[in-house]
Amino acid sequence: MTDEAPPPSLAEKLDRLFRVVRPPGEDREYSYREVAAGVAERGGPATSENYLYLLRAGRRDNPGKKLLEALAGFFGTNVSYFYDTTAATQDLEDELRLLAALRDSSIRQLALRSVDVSKGSLKHIMGIVEQVRELEGLPREARPPVEQWSNEPTDEPEAARSADRDEPERE
C-alpha cells in the first residue's frame, strides 16, 4: 500500500487555475463571467457562469473536450493539464504553487534580493531556511496547502446558490 495521494480531480485542477492565474495587473481571481466570455472569445463552446462554478465545485465533472481546450487556452496552460496525471502535471502544479507563494511580498522580496548572489551563498541561505522550517516544525518540502493559494472566497454564481439544477454539459 502506498501513501501517495490520488491525482487531483478536474475540479481541483480548475480551482487551482482560478486561484493562481490572475487578470493582468490585478490581484484578484477571474470571475466566472470573465472566464465564460474568454472561452467564447477563443472560439470555445458557449458556457455559463453557473456551469463553470459547478465544474469548479466538483458538482459536474464531464465537460467536453472543446470546453477544456478553451479553458486551458484562457488560463494559459496546455489542455493536457486537465487529462495528464504524470510528472509533467506535477511540475505545472509546482509552478502554480510558486506563483501563489510569490504573491507574498516577503517571499517575493527574499527571492529578488537573492538575485546575483553566488551559488555558494544561495546554498547557505537554503540551509538557513531549512533550519528555520525544522525549528517551526514544518515539513522539509515547502508546499503550501491549496487553501493558502488565495485568501479570497470563490464567487459562487447566484444561480448555483439558489438551486443545483441539472444544466446540460457543454461541448
For 10-162, CATH gives 1.10.260.40
What's the whole-model pTM score? Answer: 0.61
Q: How confident is the model at residue 90 (pLDDT cuts 50, 70, 90)?
A: low
Q: How confident is the model at residue 153 (pLDDT cuts 50, 70, 90)?
A: low
Give the model's pLDDT for residue 3: 59
Per-residue pLDDT tens over the stretch 109-149: 888 888 888 988 888 888 888 888 888 888 877 655 544 44
Q: State the chain's mean pLDDT as an integer.
A: 79
Residue with C-alpha cell 486561484? 19
